[in-house]
């Protein structure tokens, strides 16, 4: 079930920003964002929340429509499994935890590999859902005079709507579980470091011969700073911005300390 997928761990004392170094991780982060939103909306009881839950399912289908997405996820699951298998027998590694993660990777690989086609493809056979999908992107396109059957569905008991949403989201669960686990492993690969931005600017050269997939930046919300991040395989550049009285973002002139994590 989507709602049982592990939540992304947030550090409540800071604002945590993430920057992907490639398009594949960018897609994973977008899907994770949608899956977490879907889980929260499905757990609520109002018809409006369930409308946006259904909208989110369609967004997942749109993001997941890329032809090579499933192939990329399967390759990453297998790559992570092979990497972790190399730690078997290492005395400094908790073998019980290692075996649990390897087993998870194998289970998620089998579940995702067993699904036909792209994310949510089975839902495209539901003409009623597809009629909603065709109009949900039109401003006000799901009014009762446009989609009376959908309007009637929104007046069903909340438990009935939740049951439908869980059934429709079921086909997305293998992808959701895989994305959550892959991103967790990537995030866990990095070690945070305290760095200083001088007059709102920070640059760091990246080590030669090492490929990073994700940057994580944790900043104290009391500083009221907003990072603009850019990066490639050679360098990371960060500008710390601040809202001024004119409502625009300006580069901060203050020195500021924040936490930076590079994840491979």
Kindly tell me if the per-residue pLDDT of 112 is higher than 80: yes
Instruction: Give yes or no: residues 41 and 165 share one domain.
Output: yes
Instruction: Give yes or no: residues 144 and 251 share one domain.
Output: no
Q: Which of 187, 221, 245 is the last residue of a domain?
A: 187
Please state, in angstroms and rounded to a whole number, the distance separating the CA atoms of residues 54 and 42. Answer: 9
Instruction: Give yes or no: residues 166 and 249 share one domain.
Output: no
Kindly tell me if the per-residue pLDDT of 116 is higher than 90: no
Kindly tell me if the per-residue pLDDT of 92 is higher than 80: yes
pLDDT value at position 12?
A: 58
Angle between helix axes 69-85 and 173-188 (nearest 10 degrees) is 50
pLDDT value at position 6?
A: 45
In a domain, 16, yes or no: no
Q: Copy the structure tokens of residue 198.
A: 């001088």
Mean pLDDT of 97-113: 96
Q: Are 120 and 60 in contact (CB under 8 A)?
A: yes
In a domain, 9, yes or no: no
pTM for the model stands at: 0.92
Q: Which of 139, 160, 187 is the last residue of a domain?
A: 187
- Looking up tokens 């909603």 gives 132
Q: Which of 213, 227, 226 is nearest to 262 (CA)?
A: 213
Question: Based on the structure, what is the number of domains in the chain?
Answer: 2
* Rounded to 5°, angle at Cα 138 from 117 and 32: 45
Instruction: Give yes or no: residues 161 and 222 share one domain.
Output: no
Instruction: Give yes or no: residues 183 and 216 share one domain.
Output: no
Instruction: Give yes or no: residues 236 and 257 share one domain.
Output: yes
- Tell me how crowded residue 178 is: count the other CB atoms within 10 A of its CB: 25
Adjacent-strand bridge partners of 249? 243
| Cα radius of gyration rounded to whole Å, the chain | 21
Query: Model confidence over 157-174: pLDDT tens digits?
Result: 999 999 999 999 999 999
Q: Copy the structure tokens of residue 122.
A: 């089975």
Query: Model confidence over 29-48: pLDDT tens digits?
Result: 999 999 999 999 999 999 99
Mean pLDDT of 148-161: 98
pLDDT value at position 3?
A: 46
């Amino acid at each position: 079930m989507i709602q049982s997928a592990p939540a992304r761990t947030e550090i409540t004392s800071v604002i945590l920003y993430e920057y992907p170094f490639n398009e594949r991780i960018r897609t994973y982060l977008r899907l994770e964002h949608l899956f977490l939103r879907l889980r929260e909306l499905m757990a609520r009881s109002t018809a409006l929340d369930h409308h946006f839950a259904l909208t989110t399912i369609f967004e997942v289908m749109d993001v997941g429509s890329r032809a090579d997405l499933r192939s990329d996820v399967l390759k990453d699951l297998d790559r992570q499994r092979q990497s972790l298998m190399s730690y078997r027998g290492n005395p400094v590694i908790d073998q019980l935890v290692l075996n649990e993660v390897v087993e998870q990777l194998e289970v998620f690989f089998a579940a995702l590999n067993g699904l036909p086609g792209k994310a949510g493809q089975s839902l495209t056979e539901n003409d009623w859902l597809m009629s909603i999908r065709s109009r949900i992107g039109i401003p006000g396109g799901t009014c009762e005079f446009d989609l009376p059957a959908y309007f009637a569905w929104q007046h069903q008991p909340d438990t009935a709507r939740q049951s439908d949403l869980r059934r429709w989201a079921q086909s997305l669960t293998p992808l959701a579980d895989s994305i959550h686990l892959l991103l967790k492993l990537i995030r866990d690969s990095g070690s945070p470091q305290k760095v200083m931005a001088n007059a709102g600017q920070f640059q760091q050269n990246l080590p030669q011969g090492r490929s990073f997939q994700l940057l994580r930046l944790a900043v104290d919300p009391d500083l009221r700073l907003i990072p603009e991040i850019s990066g490639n395989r050679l360098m990371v550049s960060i500008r710390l911005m601040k809202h001024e009285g004119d409502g625009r973002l300006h580069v901060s002139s203050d020195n500021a300390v924040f936490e930076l994590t590079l994840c491979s």
